[in-house]
């Protein structure tokens, strides 16, 4: 009997049943994909970093190197398993010429290396250690992805001809977020190129035990060894490798969460409608002594069947699509060792979703308990739902036309039903607006200030060279005399030592200068202005255990000096561990210098950048927009694409749900419609009532959704982004889209769907319903 009931029920409400299943299927697919991606990503990163033997600790260093001292240090330190110094020949992008053009515009530090002997290997796409022959050039994988070059291309590097023989995976510099890229050449070719670039050293250590990393870092700093450059560690490499695919996974999970929510709403809506329809029958079943659990079982069985079908289908679909999503991971990192477990775990995730659906259905069905058999049989309608709207009466109505009044009244009377539709609209607004806001935010210049990049027009980098201070002064002088430049500032990073509470010392890079000219965004506090103030990057502050207001002791010119932490900011540049201060000290070691400038006419950025690049050939000059595009370009494009898709999906969901909702209402309301028609309401009247209901829900839903997406959405995205090191986050909202286009699109979708869904609302045959 149960089976027959279920079958009849499904046949009678084909559309909504199918839709619910569709959403469960999609949710199951997304959940499975997310799980499969997570498993593959973590596995592939591990495989890559194990094969390549990524260093546990790496100090980049530009300048003279005391190899004996380093070797002695490595030999004496008990935690060191292996040690090497790799040469990294930094070359100006203009010197690297592919058939399609040079890398002059690249913001990456492009450089050349030979294959390492001990660890930190550069791997080919099969995961093998590459041995480059003379004349061969192996190119970082990211240049394959952005179509800079392909195998067989002839490349000219500082006048020397090389052939692209293959692409390489670099376990520490794969990601666009890491600012250096290593090309691999043979020993002979490397020697030939040596004079065309500036040498930088990668001082690398492998430890016996990764847990000893903290103590090792301290020891390295305390030994006052070479440190003119960023320090990077194993966990950081791991994070950088995970970021871009991690973002995709986060997006998948977010979307699947929304889809699950919509699936739940469909279920809730169907069940509530069911309860309203079959109130009398359910009451009768209770009256003749069936238990609530018996009745619930009928419906639970229906949804179990539905959810099971959806889950299996979703899982199957995830296997169809997974290769496309895994392609990026495979390309960058290769296969995962535990790939075999992925489908299994994906299945587990889907099982969890299945369980969730059942728990939810069970929860909604609890409402059966509230049905009183006596009332159900006597009145046949759900009781006690008019609460609070007794004052909304036709007799007191002065403002609204009778159709609008009836529409509004219906919405207020059946709040629970309409809240479901409202929630769908709110969610759809979220789906439509959130990715779009994310896109405008990432693409905006302001965004860089959350990433540790000040909001200027032009950026001039002086790195890995001698006499940085003098060169910086030259450039500053030129900027000072240039009437096209409205403001500029020189920020120079020096290494200082900080005294830790346990008495040990650690080196930290501190950027000195006026930080108020092009300020970054501060997660807490403000920029340093007084000489005894210091601002720390969030990652750095966490590591040092400092907050705003705490003090910090730096060794300045050999003297201990106390600083107050005045602000915290997010930073994704230079390994994320930086500091900013306003004092000056000519004796410290310069690491690099960044000069930022603002133009009177910002449209002339390219022209000015070219001018300064020619005038100061040793410096790397970029327009900030270009800098951002090259650093976040692929992310921005991906998000823009996702945003467009999301808007379309939001509109489709809105139309689908509205049509279903209206169809269902018409079926449920046929009695009321018949009554009104008998008493002389026309088909147009009836349609007007439905449109009023829709408009009423639409107004609330879309305004609420828009508002929430623009506010709560900010918090949500902020939380997700802080995970990657950016702490404070504000949406840059495109008001035209977020407050006008998107609401209009959704309003249009609802109105069209309501119009279409209620076309035949008045066509009900009255006499068939009012039969005596």
Ligand X SMILES: Nc1ncnc2c1ncn2[C@@H]1O[C@H](COP(=O)(O)OP(=O)(O)OP(=O)(O)O)[C@@H](O)[C@H]1O
Residues 721, 706, 651, 316, Cα dihedral to 10°: 30
Number of residues that bind other proteins (CB under 8 A): 38
Give 206 or 414: the residue with its C-beta nearer to other proteins. Answer: 414
Give 398 or 771: the residue with its C-beta nearer to ligand X. Answer: 771
Q: How far apart are CA 61 and CA 63, in angstroms?
A: 6
Give 250 or 675: the residue with its C-beta nearer to other proteins. Answer: 675
Q: Is 684 in the site for other proteins (CB under 8 A)?
A: yes
Q: Is 152 in the site for ligand X (CB under 6 A)?
A: no
For CA atoms 510, 513, 517, 518, give the dihedral sign.
negative
Give 345 or 769: the residue with its C-beta nearer to Mg ion. Answer: 769
Q: Which of 5, 50, 383, 562 binds other proteins (CB under 8 A)?
A: 383
Site string for ligand X, 713-752 (x = CB under 6 A): ----------------------------------------
Q: Is 670 in the site for ligand X (CB under 6 A)?
A: no
CB atoms within 10 A of CB 767: 8
The upper half-sphere exposure of residue 430, i.e. CA atoms within 13 Å in the direction of its Cβ, equals 21
Q: Which of 641, 682, 711, 715 binds other proteins (CB under 8 A)?
A: 682
Q: Is 685 in the site for other proteins (CB under 8 A)?
A: yes
Give 98-133 as a 3 state SS string. ECCEECCCCCCEEEEECCCCCCCCEECCCCCECCCC
Which of the ranges 27-35, 139-147, 216-224, 389-397 carries the binding residues for other proteins, by CB under 8 A? 389-397
378 membership: H or E segment, kind and range: helix 373-379
For CA atoms 312, 360, 33, 258, give the dihedral sign.
positive
Give 503 or 768: the residue with its C-beta nearer to ligand X. Answer: 768
Which of the ranges 405-413, 511-519, 583-591, 642-650 carries the binding residues for other proteins, by CB under 8 A? 405-413
- Reading the block at residue 256, the tokens are 């699947």
- Reading the block at residue 14, the tokens are 């084909």
Q: Is 289 in the site for ligand X (CB under 6 A)?
A: no
- Reading the block at residue 28, the tokens are 């199951």
Report the Cα–Cα distance between both ends of the chain, in Å, rounded.
31
Give 147 or 772: the residue with its C-beta nearer to ligand X. Answer: 772
Q: How far apart are CA 692 and CA 644, in angstroms?
A: 30
Q: Collapse the DSSP code of 669 into the 3-class scheme (helix H, G, I; strand E, B; otherwise coil) and give the result.
A: coil
Q: Is 672 in the site for other proteins (CB under 8 A)?
A: yes
Burial class (CB in 10 A: 0-12, 13-18, 19+), 591: buried
**751-770: contacts with ligand X (CB under 6 A):** 768
Give 469-490 as a 3 state SS string. HHHHHHHHHHHHHCCCEEEEEE
Give 502 or 772: the residue with its C-beta nearer to Mg ion. Answer: 772
Minimum CB–partner distance for residue 770 and Mg ion (Å):
10
Strands (E), 142-271: 154-157, 160-170, 180-184, 198-207, 231-233
Minimum CB–partner distance for residue 689 and other proteins (Å):
11
Site string for other proteins, 410-439 (x = CB under 8 A): x--xx-------------------------
Q: Which residues of 134-147 are buried (b: 16+ CB within 10 A; e: fewer)?
A: eebbbbbbbbbeee
Place of tokens 């806001």: 437
- Reading the block at residue 343, the tokens are 């489908």
Q: Is 667 in the site for other proteins (CB under 8 A)?
A: no
Q: Which does 614 bind (CB under 5 to 8 A by kind): ligand X, Mg ion, other proteins, none?
A: none
566 membership: H or E segment, kind and range: strand 559-569
Give 133 or 765: the residue with its C-beta nearer to Mg ion. Answer: 765
355 membership: H or E segment, kind and range: helix 341-365
Minimum CB–partner distance for residue 379 and Mg ion (Å):
23
Which of the ranges 7-15, 386-394, 593-601, 752-760 carries the binding residues for other proteins, by CB under 8 A? 386-394
Which of the ranges 11-19, 242-250, 400-408, 727-735 carries the binding residues for other proteins, by CB under 8 A? 400-408
Q: Is 680 in the site for ligand X (CB under 6 A)?
A: no
Q: Is 374 in the site for other proteins (CB under 8 A)?
A: no
| Cα 97 to chain centroid, rounded | 34
**751-770: contacts with other proteins (CB under 8 A):** 762, 766-767, 770
Residues that bind other proteins in the complex, under the rule CB under 8 A: 375, 379, 381, 383, 386, 390, 393-398, 401-402, 405, 409-410, 413-414, 672, 674-685, 762, 766-767, 770-772
Positions that interact with ligand X (CB under 6 A): 768, 772
């Amino acid at each position: 009997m149960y089976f027959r009931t279920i079958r009849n029920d499904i046949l009678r409400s084909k559309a909504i049943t199918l839709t619910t299943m569709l959403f469960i299927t999609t949710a199951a697919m997304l959940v499975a994909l997310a799980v499969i991606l997570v498993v593959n990503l973590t596995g592939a990163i591990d495989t890559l970093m194990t094969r390549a033997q990524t260093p546990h600790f790496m100090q980049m260093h530009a300048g003279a190197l005391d190899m004996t001292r380093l070797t002695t240090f490595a030999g004496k330190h008990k935690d060191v398993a292996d040690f090497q110094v790799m040469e990294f020949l930094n070359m100006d992008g203009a010197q690297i010429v592919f058939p399609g053009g040079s890398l002059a515009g690249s913001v990456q530090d492009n450089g050349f290396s030979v294959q390492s002997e001990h660890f930190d290997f550069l791997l080919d796409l099969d995961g093998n250690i590459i041995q480059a022959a003379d004349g061969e050039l192996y190119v970082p994988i990211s240049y394959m992805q952005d179509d800079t070059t392909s195998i067989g291309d002839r490349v000219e590097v500082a006048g020397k001809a090389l052939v692209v023989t293959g692409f390489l995976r670099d376990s520490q510099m794969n990601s666009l977020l890491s600012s250096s890229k290593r090309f691999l050449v043979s020993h002979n070719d490397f020697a030939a190129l040596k004079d065309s670039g500036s040498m930088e050293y990668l001082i690398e250590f492998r430890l016996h035990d990764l847990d000893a990393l903290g103590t090792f870092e301290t020891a390295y700093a305390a030994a006052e060894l070479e440190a003119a450059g960023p320090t990077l560690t194993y966990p950081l490499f791991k994070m950088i490798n995970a970021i871009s695919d991690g973002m995709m996974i986060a997006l998948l999970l977010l979307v699947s969460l929304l889809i699950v929510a919509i699936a739940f709403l469909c279920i809730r809506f169907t069940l509530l409608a069911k309860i309203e329809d079959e109130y009398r029958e359910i009451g009768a079943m209770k009256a003749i002594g069936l238990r609530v659990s018996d009745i619930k079982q009928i419906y639970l069985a229906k949804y179990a069947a539905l959810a099971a079908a959806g889950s299996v289908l979703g899982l199957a679909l995830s296997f169809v699509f997974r290769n496309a999503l895994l392609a990026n991971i495979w390309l960058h990192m290769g296969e995962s060792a535990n790939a075999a477990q992925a489908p299994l775990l994906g299945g587990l995730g889907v099982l969890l979703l299945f369980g969730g659906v059942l728990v939810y259905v069970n929860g909604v069905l609890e409402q059966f308990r509230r049905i009183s058999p006596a009332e159900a049989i006597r009145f046949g309608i759900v009781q006690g739902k008019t609460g609070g709207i007794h004052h909304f009466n036709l007799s007191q109505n002065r403002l609204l036309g009778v159709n609008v009044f009836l529409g509004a009244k219906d919405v207020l009377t059946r709040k629970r039903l309409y809240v479901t539709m409202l929630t769908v609209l709110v969610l759809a607004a979220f789906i439509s607006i959130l990715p779009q806001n994310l896109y405008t935010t990432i693409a905006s210049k302001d965004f860089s200030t959350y990433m540790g990049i000040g909001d200027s027009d032009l950026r001039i980098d002086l790195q890995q060279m001698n006499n940085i201070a003098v060169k910086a002064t030259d450039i500053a002088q030129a900027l000072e005399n240039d009437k096209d430049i409205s403001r500029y500032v020189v920020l120079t990073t020096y290494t200082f030592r900080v005294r830790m509470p346990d008495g040990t010392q650690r080196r930290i890079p501190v950027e000195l200068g006026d930080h108020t000219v092009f300020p970054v965004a501060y997660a807490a506090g403000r920029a340093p202005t007084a000489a005894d103030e210091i601002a720390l990057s969030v990652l750095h502050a966490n590591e040092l255990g400092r907050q705003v207001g705490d003090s910090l002791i730096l060794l300045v010119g050999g003297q201990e000096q106390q600083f107050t932490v005045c602000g915290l900011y997010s930073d994704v540049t230079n390994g994320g561990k930086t500091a900013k201060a306003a004092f000056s000290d000519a004796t410290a070691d310069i690491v690099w210098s960044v000069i930022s400038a603002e133009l009177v006419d910002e449209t002339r950025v390219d022209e000015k950048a070219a001018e300064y690049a020619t005038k100061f050939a040793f410096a790397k000059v970029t327009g900030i927009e270009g800098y951002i595009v090259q650093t976040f370009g692929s992310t921005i494009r991906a998000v823009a694409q996702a945003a467009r898709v999301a808007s379309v999906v939001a509109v489709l969901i809105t139309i689908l749900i509205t049509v279903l909702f209206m169809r269902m209402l018409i079926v449920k309301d046929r009695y009321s419609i018949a009554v009104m028609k008998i008493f002389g309401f026309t088909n147009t009247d009836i349609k007007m009532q439905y449109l009023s209901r829709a408009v009423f829900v639409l107004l609330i839903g879309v305004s609420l959704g828009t508002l929430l997406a623009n506010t709560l959405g900010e918090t949500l995205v902020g939380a997700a982004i802080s995970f990657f090191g950016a702490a404070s986050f504000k949406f840059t909202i495109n008001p035209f889209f977020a407050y006008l286009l998107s609401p209009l699109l959704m309003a249009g979708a609802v109105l069209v769907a309501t119009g279409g869904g209620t076309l035949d609302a008045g066509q009900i045959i009255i006499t068939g319903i009012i039969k005596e």
